[in-house]
A and B are shown apart, each in its own frame.
Chain A
Amino acid sequence: MFYRENGQFKTSYRADQQIFPIRQDRVFMLLVLAVAFLAVPMLASDYLLRAILIPFLILSLSAIGLNILVGYCGQISLGTGAFMAVGAYAAFNFGVRFPFLPLLVQVLLGGLCATIVGVIFGIPSLRIRGLYLAVATLAAQFFVDWAFLRIPFLTNYSASGSVSVANLQVFGFPIQSALSRYLFCLSVVAVFALLAKNLVRGAIGREWMAIRDMDVAASVIGIRPMYAKLTAFAVSSFIVGVAGALWGYLHLGSWEPLAFSLERSFQLLFMVIIGGLGSIVGSFFGAAFIVLLPVGLNNIPHMLGLPLSVDTASHIEHMIFGGLIVFFLIAEPHGLAKLWSIAKEKLRIWPFPH
């Protein structure tokens, strides 16, 4: 009844090509942004910002990056954690060696280094596909873990191999409080999500999807597989690298290679699969499911005042979480984003389904 495009006529190509062609979607999106930029800062506590929303935002960004590679271009990767690590350590190195660089530039340069590494490890994708490629990208994970543990130059000769950053600021404003960190992350994530959304709608995104759906047919109609695959690796690892730099700089503040271990790669792949392959909004859903749900589940017994010991609560959390993953994959193998679009379809014809 309320969610219907009746009467919304497009009279120009511009209007027809908007990201959100339906007015209700635009209003909804603006509302979400208003809540994120205005209401959350006013209402959220330090804990909610620091421990929940900032990691959620950064991992969403990382999931967007991975989704471009896996969801849009069909190149399965298990090296996301490695590309995040490259972004974080590269940004750290730029920060240490060129302290005059602004924070944002350091973060973007970190992303740039991740792009280079991503493209190098993407080269095997020209010859191998599917699970074989997944195993090849695993090499990136092992190599990067090794490099940051063993090459003292990369950690600025820190004795323990752990690095940290301090005195972050943007345009002279210190980024110290939870709120400023949150707003910084949110701005970066919002801009990147918009860019990513536009990229996958455009010519390059269509090339990726053509490669994903059938690479032989794609090359027959004139898509260069090398160009398409390597750009997907480049864009994906750039976004992932920026997310890695944010993770190190704004969330952890001080980190070791363990923060970007293979487990992180798996976690991100699960986010993309559960959230929905080939969907930008799905990356946010996936991150919410993987990041927020365990914390929520862990807090429920405590909130209800159940006298459970922490280890029991933690085991229960794992069981429920595992169960939910199985349930969602059975109920909707295409991920939470598919559920979201089904809900929107239903709303469009409600209350008279046909």
Chain B
Amino acid sequence: MTFTRFRTAAAAMALTGALAATATPMLAQAQAQEQFVPLLVYRTGSFAPLGIPWADGKLDYIKLINERDGGINGVKITYEECETAYSTDRGVECYERLKSKGPTGASSFDPQSTGITFAVTDKAPNDKVTIQTTGYGRSESADGSVFEWNFPILGTYWTAADIMLQDIAKKEGGWDKLKGKKIALVYHDSPYGKEPIPLLTARAKMHGFELSLLPVVAPGVEQKSTWLQIRQQRPAYVLLWSAGIMTPTAIREAQATGFPREKMYAIWWAGSEADVKDLGAAAKGYNAITVQNAAGKSRIHDDLLKNVYDKNNGSAKREEVGTVAHTRGMLISMITVEAIRTAQEKYGKGKTMTREQVRWGYENLNITQERIDQLGFNGLLRPIKTSCKDHMGASWAHIITWDGGKFTNSSDWYQGDASVIDPLVKEAAAKYASEKNITPRKCEG
């Protein structure tokens, strides 16, 4: 009897507790001069090894700006992490929870996931929140006249695929040498993995190479049949669109099949130290693309170590500073901060920017070489300039190669070929606009 009553009460309490707990997180914020930046991260789940250094890098740069500069022109950056575990449901919940936080709401979202990006892209124009997708997201969102609130700054999967092919063509001695060759795309069977297909198909048509599509079911540990097909088809190159556990598995399978790692090109999410470190020499020769100069270290790393890590405030381990994924995280936060700073230059220095004003900042980014040097990112990246029409700004990228112990640069800077990519972007964006009844904005110049 007593026990029954107890369990009834326990059940009731658990349910009401859950309701109450979910209802209260939006308490009033102090109205100080602060700018809120939400941080969607995946520190748990199957992609965590990739997500952790990336999240740490994003967090570290914000800490550095607060610590070293006292914020952006005196406006402190407040932040809150929200764990998505790379799941779209959780990500949408995080987005809804954080979008109106802080004095003016979330400055911008970096969803860290293609799935979440797709889900929030439709919500963003209504909520007036900027979606920043550095190097991922929807490729057609580079067209700012249709995608007013999306900013795939520094490149998309289409520019990445294009640059990989450019490097392959260069190695082979010209585009015409690709004729009749076979190139395989081994991809994560999800929107993320399918993103490069339109561009690769267009390039295959242009240069007469054969594209072979080999999907791998998530999470990517089952690849035996895929690599059996590769052994049969003998492609000249393999492009790898993987993430998390799929990457080391692919490299192991390549080793088992005898496919040369030198002929593998991986997308940036498959090109961080965590993916290849344990494989060591087995991954030697493995190529990946990065949006930044991965082999370089710059003043920004010293600043971070001095201002944040020496005060025991760092998010990662000290030796992780300067790794590919950590630096990329810092780069993403740098772009966010620069967008807010650009907005402040127009709407008032030292003020908290609204979501619309931050969007303006993103659209008028002009990170010149001089500015890059000032920021301490010299050598790590190339200038970026966005506009109403071009929400990507630039698509500079590098090819890096694993030498068995570390990544080294194996190419110069490349940019995606606008003459190939732009028509595709325009076509896909127009399709999106007609599906969604969006009238594209008129962009000057």
Contact = CB atoms under 8 A, between A and B. Distances in A.
A141 to B, nearest CB: 13
B8 A346 contact: yes
Contacts of B435: 96, 164, 166
Interface of B: 1, 4-5, 7-8, 10-12, 14-15, 17-26, 41, 43-44, 48, 52, 80-83, 85, 88-89, 92-93, 96-97, 99-100, 114-115, 118-119, 121-123, 126, 138, 189-191, 194-195, 197-198, 215, 218, 428, 435-437
Given A299-B22, A342-B4, A159 B197 contact: yes
Interface string A194-228: 00000000000000000000000000000000000
A332 B7 contact: yes
Interface stretch (A3-11, A40-48, A69-77, A110-118): A40-48
12 contacts: A45-B26, A47-B25, A160-B195, A258-B218, A259-B88, A259-B89, A313-B83, A314-B83, A332-B7, A342-B4, A346-B8, A353-B1
A286 B74 CA distance: 49
B215 A162 contact: no
A310 B12 CA distance: 27
Contacts of B80: 302
Interface string A89-130: 000000010000000000000000000000000000000000
A258 B190 contact: yes
Contacts of A313: 83
Contact of A50 (B96, B121, B198): B96
A247 to B, nearest CB: 10
A310 B22 contact: no
B11 A328 contact: yes
Q: Which 3 A-B pairs have the closest CB atoms?
A: A296-B21, A311-B43, A296-B18
B14 A324 contact: yes
A160 B15 CA distance: 39
A48 B22 contact: yes
Nearest to A264: B89
B250 to A, nearest CB: 19
B131 to A, nearest CB: 13
Contact of B24 (A161, A303, A353): A303
Interface residues of A, number: 58
A311 B191 CA distance: 26
A164 B122 contact: yes
Interface stretch (A185-193, A230-238, A287-295): A287-295
B25 A303 contact: yes
Given A292-B19, A296-B22, A310-B41, A161 B11 contact: no
Given A50-B96, A161-B190, A314-B83, A309 B43 contact: yes
A151 to B, nearest CB: 13
A258 B195 CA distance: 16
Contacts of A164: 118, 121-122, 435-436
Contacts of A346: 4-5, 8
B168 to A, nearest CB: 22
A310 B8 contact: no
A342 B428 CA distance: 58
Contacts of B97: 47, 51
A255 interface: yes
A190 B444 CA distance: 51
A149 to B, nearest CB: 6
Contacts of A285: 15
A311 B41 CA distance: 9
Contacts of A252: 88, 92, 119
Contacts of A23: none
A314 B122 CA distance: 27
A296 B14 CA distance: 10
Contacts of B43: 309-311, 314
A254 interface: yes
B15 A331 contact: no
B14 A331 contact: no
Contacts of B89: 55, 259
Given A159-B197, A164-B435, 17 more contacts: A50-B96, A52-B22, A164-B122, A256-B115, A256-B191, A288-B19, A292-B19, A295-B18, A295-B21, A296-B17, A300-B21, A310-B83, A313-B83, A327-B10, A331-B10, A332-B11, A346-B8
A296 B93 CA distance: 12
Contacts of B126: 176
A254 B122 contact: yes
A309 B48 CA distance: 14
A291 to B, nearest CB: 9
B49 to A, nearest CB: 12
Contacts of B115: 162, 256, 258
A339 interface: yes
Given A161-B191, A313-B83, A46 B8 contact: no
A149 B218 CA distance: 12
B236 to A, nearest CB: 24
A78 to B, nearest CB: 17
A315 B11 contact: no
A17 interface: no
A46 B119 CA distance: 17
